[in-house]
Amino acid sequence: MNTPVVKEKGSMFKKVLGNQISVVFFILIALIIFFSVGAKGFFSAYNLKSLLQQTAVIGIITVAQTFVIITSGIDLSQGAIIGLTTLIASGMMVDLGLPIGVAVLAALLAAVLVGVVNGFFVAHVGLPAFITTLGTQYIIRSIALLAKGGNDIYNLPPEISNFGRGTIGGVFPNLAIIMIVIVVIMHLILKKFSFGRYVYACGSNVTAARFSGVKTKKAIFLVYVLAGFLCGIAGIVMMCRINAGIAVCGDGYEMNSICAVVIGGGSLFGGEGSISGALIGAFIMSVLSTGLQIMGFSTYWQQLITGIVLILAVMVDTIRRRRSQGME
């Protein structure tokens, strides 16, 4: 009589292990426990607040990268968009004396414009996303550096730093609230709206999606526009966090977002991914970075580990995909 119960428990255990989101969540918990024990001050209230503020930027661009990767694309211009956004917004406030709202709106429009350019060349011209976004990355970063001669912009209005350091109820950072709102909205769009179904269809089989009536070019174009907009928001969040406009402040962030998406169950081959899994992946990247920093590892070691994590995540994704195709 006990045999069915044992089988049921075993199947439930296998089901949990087979769910990548559950696995990465356990990994996140394990990392938090490890650094709480091995890195003095990691679990302090101050560090946890800083961790949430840091994850806000990575979390937002990871959401953007999730949409792009599901369509079997990739966005390497994210870090450059962040830097450009901080520079435009801070420059308009400090150099031109414009109101905060106007400066933020102009910076977001610039980010959307980059998304429009990426989307046009990928969806309508048919250029590879890797080449297109790598090209725009170099162009945007060069424009941002040339605009101020490589100089940073400081002395922003006090409202910027106040908002960046502010919390809700003295506990939850404002920047993390922005990330959570975006995560919830984008999750609903991806799972509950027809646009989300079109995104998955484009990544699974773009030809079949086109024959089934999906306007694939329009859907892919809008994905890159949305990605540009979200990266613009991430840039504003970054500006509030560092209280400055720095052209290179987002360098390398696109690698973290790609790692986070793949760790969270997204596939670089397209058609797979979720906002919840990607968010857990983003927290893993932030916990790794913060924990290693507290333990005294230099940024060079952090970049090394990020590279290793990326290769391992893609390798696991490739093996998982081959097994699923073999089962079919």
Amino acid letter for position 39: A
| Angle in degrees, 0-180, between the axes of helices 216-242 and 194-204, rounded to the nearest 10 | 110
Q: Phi and psi of 172, rounded to 5°?
A: -95, 125
Q: 167 by DSSP, 3-state: which?
A: strand
**201-259 residue pLDDT tens:** 999 999 999 999 999 999 999 999 999 999 999 999 999 999 999 999 999 899 999 99
pLDDT at 210: 93
Residue 17 makes CB contacts below 8 A (sequence gap 6+) with 23
pLDDT at 18: 52
Residues of the chain with pLDDT under 50: 1-8, 13-14, 16-17
Instruction: List Cα–Cα distances, 27 to 92, 273, 281, 316, in angstroms.
Output: 43, 18, 10, 15
| DSSP string over 291-311 | HHHHTT--HHHHHHHHHHHHH
Is residue 132 within 8 Å of 118, Cβ to Cβ? Answer: yes
pLDDT of residue 301: 83
The dihedral sign for the CA sequence 202, 203, 204, 207: positive
Residue carrying structure tokens 């509030």: 240
Closest CA to 242 of 100, 99, 94, 50: 50
pLDDT of residue 72: 95
pLDDT computed for residue 68 by the predictor: 98
* CA separation for the pair 89, 98 (Å, rounded): 9
- In this prediction, residue 317 carries a pLDDT of 74
Give me the residues paired with residue 168 across strands: 172
pLDDT number for residue 45: 84
Q: Collapse the DSSP code of 168 into the 3-class scheme (helix H, G, I; strand E, B; otherwise coil) and give the result.
A: strand
Task: Please state the domain extents for the chain.
Answer: 44-251
SS3 state at 245: strand
Single-letter residue type at 61: I
What does the CA dihedral 276, 21, 192, 119 come to, rounded to 10 degrees? 70
Q: 243 with 160: CB under 8 angstroms?
A: yes
Residue 172: its H or E element: strand 172-173
Contact call for residues 56 and 175 (beta carbons, < 8 A): yes
Alpha carbons 208 and 94: distance in angstroms, whole number: 51
Cβ contact 196:67 at 8 Å: no
Rounded (5°) CA angle 109-246-119? 35
Cα–Cα distance measured from residue 241 to residue 192, given in angstroms and rounded to the nearest whole number: 32
C-alpha to C-alpha distance for 250 and 238, rounded to whole angstroms: 8
Regarding pTM above 0.85, the answer is: yes
State the DSSP code for 213: T
Query: What is the per-residue pLDDT for 127?
Result: 96
